């Protein structure tokens, strides 16, 4: 097989197997359509805005590279295959893709046949073809026998959850997890966040807070986990035809229940066949599948936190949601972390923003169990009225018993530390917290320092990042820098190769003032906007070509803007002696800056009416689950 094919398919294989197979299926289907109608031009154009293309090919590792290998050329808004691409080339690609897919299926299918390739996807870290090694990877973790002592359903659930989190103690599992986390990149970004906080404090003479690199790392880990690592699944695509499915019922087939006791069956809306979707609790398997809903997300994210050496807890709300708590050693308190929502330190968001009726919220770790309900409600009296699963005395007795059993083998010094920390936490619960505006909107709350670290509070121009376009980076005489507000990520690309990836909208800007990233969880939308209290916000990006050893020829810019009422978004490109205003919602191409050594693109947000005027000028608005990059700048050189 051609080396280029091997590199692209190896990268594609790094995705969960279900995602990998769906991408291969779509690529082959596109190829088949072209082979059937080789002279039909419209089937040779794949629009980037198409949800299937964006999410199932461009949104996965290696997908774009495969399109290029097929013979497609990337344009600003689409991928186009020239009529001159040989049919033989397309047939060769499809044959190689199907062969690779078959190899992967054979590699990871168990000898027992009880689990199909679609149920336990392959890992990007599993390189050994030996079948025994594969079985080791997906084996269930061995835990001590579970012994329940309560007949009360709720109290028995405390014992079950306390037993399940013992997985976090497995040293081999934690070591494997650490290898999956890009720790050095997260640490570098965390340092930038911390410096941003320190700069703000210095300029505004604020009191230096008790905040550390660990606190910033938590924010980085949340971002990475949601954007790059885990995938949300409501209903999986049909494993037979790839179309959408809908939940039908729970399976009772013992062959499907080998690794879990819960397997959903989703019926295809097209071919009506059933696709199983296992709901795994076993973390060794979840590191393979990397997909699910809030249970799988929180369970795996808590493991990631434990693998970094942080005291972490798996938090269960009886109102059907789960998340994580991480103990900040600097702030000496537990921080709420929701990986599904990428939220940190917003404990009242469920009650105030989601309108959940809080009753019991329990936190579990291998060392303790704690009733943390009071952290997540601003009305303790109402909560008490809803706590009818058992008496408060019975609950306390069950907690003390489980906690004593978990800590029986700990050292006296560790027990003393945990007791002191527990008492401090109980004292925190004595005071009701009041919901802030941010809690109602689902945005970051907590101290001002948290908002500063997220780039949501500014009083002066910040960042000073410059995109240096270097000679060695330029392939085929062009480079592209793009940003997705949903992913909150920049990519620096040339010749279909990602040279640099930068997380955080503010980290790629040259200057920004009075701007923040707004998530609308109720509408499932996200965008950049000016601060609510300000009449104007601005941000700019700077590009330096002095080390390119080439002459700039053409600039192509795509930027999405949304305005309402009298809102105004103004975007312009400038050099020292020339400025051009970009038209709204149009792909803009210009040669006016030919030969320039640097450029600055600046966006200003202003106007609007009433109390929500700040929302009437929006930049890069898109759905929260989008994988599309809607801010693209391409430079071509002579």
Q: Which CATH architecture has domain 153-231+303-441?
A: Roll (3.10)
Q: What is the pLDDT of residues 162-175, one digit of tens each?
A: 999 999 999 999 99
SS3 for 419? helix
Range of lowest pLDDT (60-64, 72-76, 350-354, 508-512): 350-354
Asked if the model's pLDDT at residue 135 lies above 50, the reply is no
- Is 205 exposed, middle or buried (CB count within 10 Å of its CB: 0-12, 13-18, 19+)? exposed
Asked if the model's pLDDT at residue 525 lies above 80, the reply is yes
Report the percent of the chain where pLDDT is more than 70. 87
Q: What is the pLDDT of residues 83-126, one digit of tens each?
A: 888 888 888 888 888 888 777 766 544 333 333 334 444 433 33
Cα separation, 39 vs 630, whole angstroms: 31
Range of lowest pLDDT (310-314, 399-403, 574-578): 574-578
Q: What is the CATH number of domain 3-108?
A: 1.20.58.2190
8 Å CB contact between 518 and 496: no
Residues with catalytic annotation? 294, 321, 338
Q: What is the pLDDT of residues 584-596, one digit of tens each?
A: 767 889 998 998 9
8 Å CB contact between 517 and 526: yes
Cα separation, 340 vs 123, whole angstroms: 22
- Domain 458-637: give its CATH superfamily: PAW domain (2.60.120.1020)
Cα separation, 500 vs 146, whole angstroms: 48
- What pTM did the predictor assign? 0.57
Cα separation, 543 vs 168, whole angstroms: 45
Closest CA to 533 of 459, 585, 483, 448: 459
SS3 for 415? helix
Mean pLDDT of all residues belonging to the chain: 84
∠ CA 335-376-354, nearest 5°, is 110
Closest CA to 486 of 397, 560, 417: 560
Q: What is the pLDDT of residues 24-81, one digit of tens each?
A: 888 988 988 888 888 777 788 888 878 788 888 888 888 898 999 899 998 878 888 9
**Ramachandran angles phi, psi of 242, nearest 5°:** 85, 0
Domain extent listing, the chain: 3-108, 153-231+303-441, 458-637
pLDDT bin (cut points 50, 70, 90) of residue 205 is low
SS3 for 102? helix
């Amino acid at each position: 097989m051609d080396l280029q094919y091997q590199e692209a398919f190896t990268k594609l294989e790094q995705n969960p197997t279900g995602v990998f197979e769906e991408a291969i299926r779509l690529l082959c289907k596109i190829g088949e359509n072209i082979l059937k109608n080789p002279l039909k031009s419209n089937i040779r154009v794949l629009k980037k805005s198409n949800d299937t293309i964006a999410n199932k090919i461009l949104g996965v590792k290696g997908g774009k590279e495969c399109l290029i290998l097929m013979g497609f050329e990337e344009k600003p808004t689409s991928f186009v295959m020239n009529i001159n691409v040989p049919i033989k080339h397309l047939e060769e690609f499809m044959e190689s893709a199907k062969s690779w897919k078959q190899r992967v299926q054979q590699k990871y299918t168990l000898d027992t046949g009880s689990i199909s390739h679609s149920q336990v996807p392959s890992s990007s870290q599993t390189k050994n073809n030996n079948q025994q090694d594969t079985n080791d990877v997906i084996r269930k973790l061995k835990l001590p026998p579970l012994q329940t002592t309560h007949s009360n359903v709720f109290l028995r659930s405390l014992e079950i959850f306390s037993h399940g989190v013992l997985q976090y103690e497995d040293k081999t599992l934690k070591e494997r997890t650490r290898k999956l986390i890009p720790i050095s990149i997260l640490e570098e970004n965390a340092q930038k966040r911390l410096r941003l906080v320190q700069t703000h404090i210095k300029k505004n003479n604020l009191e230096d807070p008790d905040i550390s690199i660990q606190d910033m790392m938590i924010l980085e880990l949340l971002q990475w986990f949601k954007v790059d690592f885990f995938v949300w699944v409501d209903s999986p695509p049909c494993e037979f035809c790839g179309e959408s499915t809908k939940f039908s019922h729970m399976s009772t087939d013992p062959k499907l229940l080998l690794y879990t006791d819960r397997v959903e069956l989703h019926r295809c809306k097209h071919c009506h066949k059933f696709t199983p979707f296992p709901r795994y609790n076993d973390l060794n398997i979840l590191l393979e599948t990397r997909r699910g809903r809030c249970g799988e997300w929180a369970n795996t994210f808590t493991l990631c936190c434990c693998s970094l050496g942080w005291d972490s807890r798996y938090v269960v709300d009886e109102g059907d949601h789960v998340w994580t708590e991480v103990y900040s050693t600097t702030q000496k308190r537990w921080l709420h972390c929701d990986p599904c929502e990428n939220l940190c330190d917003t404990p009242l968001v469920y009650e105030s923003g989601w309108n959940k009726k809080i009753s019991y919220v329990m936190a579990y770790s291998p060392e303790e169990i704690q009733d943390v309900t009071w952290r997540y409600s601003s009305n303790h009296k109402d909560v008490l009225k809803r706590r009818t699963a058992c008496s408060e005395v019975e609950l306390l007795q069950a907690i003390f018993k489980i906690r004593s059993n978990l800590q029986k083998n700990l050292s006296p010094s560790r027990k003393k530390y945990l007791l002191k920390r527990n008492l401090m936490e109980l004292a925190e619960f004595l005071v009701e917290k009041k919901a802030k505006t941010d809690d109602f909107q689902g945005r970051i709350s907590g101290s001002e320092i948290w908002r500063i670290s997220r780039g949501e509070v500014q009083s002066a121009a910040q960042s000073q990042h410059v995109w240096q376009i270097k000679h060695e980076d330029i392939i085929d005489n062009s480079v592209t820098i793009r940003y997705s507000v949903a992913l909150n990520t920049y990519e620096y690309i040339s010749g279909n190769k990602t040279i640099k990836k930068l997380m955080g909208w503010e980290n790629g800007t040259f200057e920004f003032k009075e701007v923040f990233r707004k998530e609308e969880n109720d509408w499932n939308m996200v965008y950049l906007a000016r601060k609510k209290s300000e009449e104007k916000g601005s941000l700019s990006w700077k590009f330096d070509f002095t080390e390119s050893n080439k002459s700039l020829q053409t600039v192509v810019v795509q930027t999405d803007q949304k305005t309402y009422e009298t809102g105004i978004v103004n975007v312009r490109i400038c050099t020292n002696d020339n400025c051009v205003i970009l038209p709204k919602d149009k792909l803009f191409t210009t040669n006016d800056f030919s030969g320039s050594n640097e450029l600055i693109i600046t966006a200003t947000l202003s106007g609007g009416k009433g109390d929500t005027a700040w929302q009437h000028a929006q930049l890069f608005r898109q759905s929260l689950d989008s994988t599309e990059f809607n801010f693209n700048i391409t430079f071509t050189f002579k």
